[in-house]
Amino acid sequence: MFLSSLPLRHQQFLQKIATAAIVLSLVQRGDNNPSVKKGEKASLPSFLSFCLLPSAFCLLALTGCSFGSFTGEAKTPQIELPEITIPTAISSPSLPKGIDNQELLEESWEVYREQFIQEDGRVIDYEAQDRSISEGQAYAMLRAVLMGDERTFVLTLDWAEKNLQRLDADGKRIDNLWAWKWGQKGDGKWEPIDFNFASDADIDAATALIWAYRRWNRSEYLDLALIKLQDIWQYSTVMVGANGKVKEDDTKGLLNWGTRYLLPGPVEAFVPSSSTIHLNPSYFAPYAFRLFAQVDSNHDWLSLVKSSYEVLEKSTQASTVGLPSDWIALETKTGQLRPLPADSPIKSVYSFDAYRVWWRIAWDAAWFDAPEAQRYLSSATKHLQQQWDSSSFIPARINLQGQATVEYDATSQYAMLYPAFRLLSPDTAEQMLQEKILPQYNQGVWDDKSAYYTQNLAWLGIMPFSVVDPQLLQSDL
């Protein structure tokens, strides 16, 4: 490469520019913009993505830095994927009789299927240029398996497997994770816009596959889940040794070598140096890691449970009011967590990403009786409980000093808090449901007909814990 002749500091500078541009692309999923309207998620202006990303990947190639799908060869050996057939019969999805909000949850799923899921299984985000993202496919899979809707489950899985493949420059599949963003490109073609993966979507998809295997007794679902788990472990986790250095490859079973952390996506975007890792607490899914440990004994998934809670508990110290943050930086040499710099494209603020911490940790507390989950929820929700008690209103975006940065609230936040407060303060949960969640529901839709994100968070948040049958949580090993 001709740039290899440049001084090292120049090469490193170019790599940093490239990586920053890619991170900016990934940030389109977050809501770090105080001007965003209620229920919406922030996105970069399309011209910024168009200008930054091509040059970013050119720089990465020229400087010899590989990133995601733009490496020269496939990272993972080509694996024959299990064949999954689409059921021909159209079922009548339903939930267990007599559960709370049964009719509402069933109606909202039917409306969501009609309005947000195409006949071929593509989930559409109308708030963002009709794009599709891996998160949306995974949410649909989770909801479909819980509803007993196998046809929709397979359709959404099939669309993602066919359209979100991560390919290298030669068109070879890199791994079995999903490209996070698909949509219309500048030339009018509809295809992946960003081949990088988002680990929360792959985790949710693998969880749905395990549940589908247990619910419908189809081994091909488990086979595909195990293939995905291998790649999540290999490409979306890193080890940090006692010396504070990041080790990307496997430590070959040396469980005491250090601490393993879940990354939000590719190493190149979220490990900016050998002593810093950028993390998204809302991606931590301890209940899922426990499920993965049940079916996959080749990897120490329970180590991710431990590190997830360590990050969650330590990250509250970065906020004077103990709130989780959309993004946080881990200093690996000291083990300290700190807010990201103010000029960072990813923000340390309590907002639309961080809401999901409540839902994910509440599921772990409810299904696995995790004491660390109960302890974290009790501590981290105190400020929000106080705000609710004083005004029956919680701003949609709060900085880490506890100050509101917007004047509106968000249905999705109340829905994500609902399962947490069901465990901590049932009276508070019921108040939020009656005053903030149900009033925003009308004929199968929360907020408005384009609010893709709110539909999913509201449904997953108010779904009773009992919807998940005990057989879906039982070990296979």
Predicted pLDDT of residue 418: 99
CB 18 within 8 A of CB 57: yes
Q: Give the strand order in the sheet containing 190-194.
A: 132-133, 181-184, 190-194
CA dist., res. 474 & res. 208, Å (int)? 14
Handedness of CA 46, 52, 58, 61 (dihedral sign): negative
CA dist., res. 428 & res. 422, Å (int)? 8
Query: Which residue type occupies 260?
Result: R
* φ and ψ at residue 279, rounded to 5 degrees: -125, 155
At 190 the three-state DSSP class reads: strand
* φ and ψ at residue 273, rounded to 5 degrees: -155, 170
Best CA proximity match to 411, nearest among 364, 359, 467, 451: 451
- Work out the angle at residue 90's Cα, subtended by the Cα atoms of residues 84 and 95, and round it to the nearest 5 degrees: 95
Helices marked H in 72-149: 102-116, 134-147
CB 279 within 8 A of CB 330: yes
Residue whose structure tokens are 């009609």: 114
CA dist., res. 385 & res. 381, Å (int)? 6
CB 471 within 8 A of CB 289: no
Predicted pLDDT of residue 334: 87
CB 220 within 8 A of CB 83: yes
CB 328 within 8 A of CB 341: no
Helices marked H in 217-351: 219-236, 267-270, 286-295, 302-315
CA dist., res. 417 & res. 436, Å (int)? 11
CB 343 within 8 A of CB 280: no
Sequence-distant (6+) residues with CB within 8 A of 434 are: none
Tell me the domains of the chain and their CATH numbers. Answer: 2-473 (1.50.10.10)
Q: In DSSP terms, which residues pair with 279 in a beta bridge?
A: 328
Predicted pLDDT of residue 95: 93
Give the model confidence (pLDDT) of 373-401 as tens digits. 999 999 999 999 999 999 999 999 999 99
Sequence-distant (6+) residues with CB within 8 A of 450 are: 126, 127
CA dist., res. 10 & res. 273, Å (int)? 16
* DSSP classification of residue 114: H
- Work out the angle at residue 416's Cα, subtended by the Cα atoms of residues 270 and 418, and round it to the nearest 5 degrees: 150
CA dist., res. 106 & res. 333, Å (int)? 49
Within 10 A of 388 (CB to CB), how many other CB atoms are there?
A: 21
At 37 the three-state DSSP class reads: coil
Predicted pLDDT of residue 335: 87
* φ and ψ at residue 284, rounded to 5 degrees: -70, 125
pLDDT < 70 regions, the chain: 1-80, 88-91, 242-244, 247-257, 476-477
CA dist., res. 396 & res. 411, Å (int)? 9
Mean pLDDT estimate for the chain: 85
**Strand 445-446 relative to strand 441-442: parallel, antiparallel, unpaired?**
antiparallel
CB 380 within 8 A of CB 323: yes
CA dist., res. 16 & res. 268, Å (int)? 10
CA dist., res. 195 & res. 381, Å (int)? 36
At 7 the three-state DSSP class reads: coil
